[in-house]
Structure formats: structure tokens, C-alpha cells
Amino acid sequence: MVRGKEMSDPKAQQILIVEDDLDLADMLNSYFRVQGYEVVTANRGTDAVRISGEINPDLVVLDIRLPDIDGYDVCRQIRANRLTSNMPVIFLTEKRDRVDKLAGLELGVVDYITKPFDIQELRLRVRNALTRAANVPQTNPVTKLPEPVITEKNLKDLLKAEHNWVVMALQIAALDRFREAYGFVASDDVLRAVTLMIQNGVKDAGAQDGYLGHFNGQDFVIITDKEKSEVIQKRIENRLQQSLAYFYPLQDRANLQNIPANKRLHLLLGMVYKEKYDDIETLKKAILAAPDTIIQQTTLDMDF
């Protein structure tokens, strides 16, 4: 069962409450509506996963004990979805053991409230979590590029533009695997170097008036004119085709040919062309899918 507001303030922050106790869910729904939030409720974990992907709420208040899948599984699936991976989650639960709290923290939950709880305390924790999420850095500390919150503003402006635009979506695939093997310092070096090569590729194509920033974490987007996009793509290919292998330690490079191409560093590049995108969510979903499914896809593999 899913409930939500019929009419809502478009500026209101949106909370998804996942709670199988219907009385408690209704109470929280009514309470947070009075506080000025838009509220959607779900009573099952599978519904919560589906709804979070559809509406991308600002915050999830998530009970651990649910009738189908538990809150841990819900949180894992939210984190696994690139569209919702950074969504703040507060666990609401009867479990008080240290191991349960640690399990939640490992999944990246921002807070942990045990039942029975003080409703005023929950309100403050929700407010603080939303404030922290809203006050995200404007530039990435590693690449110095604009963060996704700035990129989204540019994408919203793009929907109003009449020129023949293209959004180029770039993803450094297998970077998580590389980070696990060689550490954060090495993976940050990859990010910095790839950023510089993309910037130089854009500059070489004479597209400095375009936009380069992050989208959904560490992925990149380039907003440019259609006629410049193919030139940018070729410049990026030329710069990155042979480069990514050299980020691996010398002693490991000889064995890279034995690793499947999709499990070692490579760049996926896709294009989203100007079409009938009426809203930001449709455009964002198209960009998320671009490196895998859109018209043009280039996997920059490494030759040995």
C-alpha cells in the first residue's frame, strides 16, 4: 500500500516513509505534512525500492523490519541504483544492538532512530539530515569540477534552450574495482588525470563555451552544440585510448590482458541528443542510461 499527498507545494522537500505499521505510518505521514513536507509512504520494502527510483525523494525514513525484504536490503538496492545512490536514509527500528547500528552505518545511513522514539527528536533529525544533504559542496575536491547539484541546474536551463544541444555522458568504468585494489589515492589520481584529458579535449575542439561537470557522483557530462560533439569525442578518444593502462602499477600491467575488458579501467561515452525532453527527471534518466544504451557508445579499451 502506498500513500501520498494529492496536492503538494512544488518547493516542498519530499520524504519517503517506509513503515509496515499502518497506524504509525499514517501518524508520521500526517505529522510531517503539517511540518510542510511532501510525504509518500510505503509499507513494503519492494514498494520502497520502486518508489525511490520513480520519485527520487530528498530523504527516506526506513524501518528495518518489513514484511517482505528487510530495511538493509532496501538500503542496498537504493545504493545500487545510480539514480538514488546518494539519497540520505534514516533507519527507524526496534533493534538496539551495536551490530545492527554498525550494519546500517556500513550501508551509508545518515542516522539511526530506535523505537519508541520522541517525535520531536525525529523531526529534528529529519531536518538536520535534509540540511546536510542540501549543503553539498559546489565543486568536487578531487577534480575541481562542478558537483551534480550545479550540473542539474544547468540541465534545467538546457530544457529551455532552443539551440541544437547534446549532452555527452562519460563514465570511468571499473573505477570502484581499481579503488579496492590500489586505494583511494590511486583512484583520485585517475580522476584528476581523466579530468585534465577531457578538459584538453574540449579545448582542442573549440568548445570552451560548453559545460563540463559531474553527474551522479563521479561521472562526467559535457553540454555542447551538436556540431562540436563528434570533434570532442574524437579528441577524448585520442587522449585516453592508450592512457588508462598506465595508472596500474608496472608489475601488474603485463597481466592486464588476462582480465576481461569490462573489469579493467575503461571509459564509456554516450550521447543524449536534443529530443522531446519535457522535464528534468526524463532527461536525467536518459543521461544515466547513455553510457550503456544510447545511440553512440564508445568503450575506450587498452591495447597491449
Q: Which residue has the higher pLDDT, 277 or 227?
A: 227
Tell me, yes or no, whether 236 and 162 share the same domain: yes
CA angle, 290 then 74 then 25, to 5°: 120
Domain boundary among 84, 110, 134: 134
Looking at the fold, whether 166 and 121 belong to one and the same domain comes out as no
The larger pLDDT score, comparing residue 8 to residue 188, is at 188
Nearest to 64 by CA among 33, 96, 41: 96
Residue 139 lies in a domain: no
Q: Which of 134, 157, 188 is the last residue of a domain?
A: 134
Q: What is the pTM of this model?
A: 0.58
Query: Is the same domain home to 216 and 162?
Result: yes
At 100 the pLDDT is 61
8 A C-beta contact, residue 61 and residue 16 = yes
Q: Is residue 243 part of a domain?
A: yes
Q: Which residues touch 228 (CB under 8 Å, ≥6 apart)?
A: 205, 206, 207, 210
Give the mean pLDDT of 3-13.
55
Query: Residue 142 falls within a domain, yes or no?
Result: no
Q: What is the pLDDT of residue 92?
A: 86
pLDDT digits (tens, 9 = 90+) for 127-146: 998 988 777 668 888 899 99
Is 225 found in the same domain as 102?
no
What CATH number is associated with residue 241? 3.30.70.270
User: 17: helix, coil or strand?
Assistant: strand
Dmax (CA) for the chain in angstroms is 63
One domain, residues 198 and 88: no
CA distance 46 to 74: 7
Would you state the pLDDT for residue 148? 87
Work out the pLDDT band at 95, boundaries 50, 70, 90: low
Whether residues 118 and 153 share a domain: the answer is no
| Structural domain boundaries, residue 7 | 2-134
Clarify whether residues 185 and 243 are in a common domain: yes
Residue 186 sits in the same domain as residue 243: yes
- The answer, yes or no, to whether residue 33 has pLDDT greater than 90, is yes
Task: Indicate whether 286 and 161 sit together in one domain.
Answer: yes
Please check whether residue 213 is in contact with residue 221, taking contact to mean a CB–CB distance below 8 angstroms: yes
Residue 127's nearest CA partner among 3, 13, 33 is: 13
Could you tell me if 270 and 229 are in contact, meaning their C-beta atoms sit under 8 angstroms apart? no
Q: Do 113 and 165 sit in the same domain of this protein?
A: no
Q: What CATH code is carried by the domain that includes residue 122?
A: 3.40.50.2300
| Mean pLDDT over the full length of the chain | 83
Could you tell me if 58 and 172 lie in one domain?
A: no
- The structural domain count of the chain equals 2
Say if 104 falls within a structural domain: yes
In a domain, 179, yes or no: yes
140 is a domain residue: no
Report if residue 252 sits inside a domain.
yes
Q: Are residues 170 and 123 in the same domain?
A: no
Domain-embedded: residue 156: yes
The domain boundary, picked from 112, 134, 156, lies at 134
Task: Please report which confidence band the pLDDT of residue 102 belongs to, taking 50, 70 and 90 as the band edges.
Answer: low
- In this prediction, residues 27-41 reach a mean pLDDT of 95
Helical spans, DSSP H, in the chain:
22-34, 45-55, 71-80, 98-106, 119-134, 148-160, 175-182, 184-204, 226-240, 250-253, 280-293
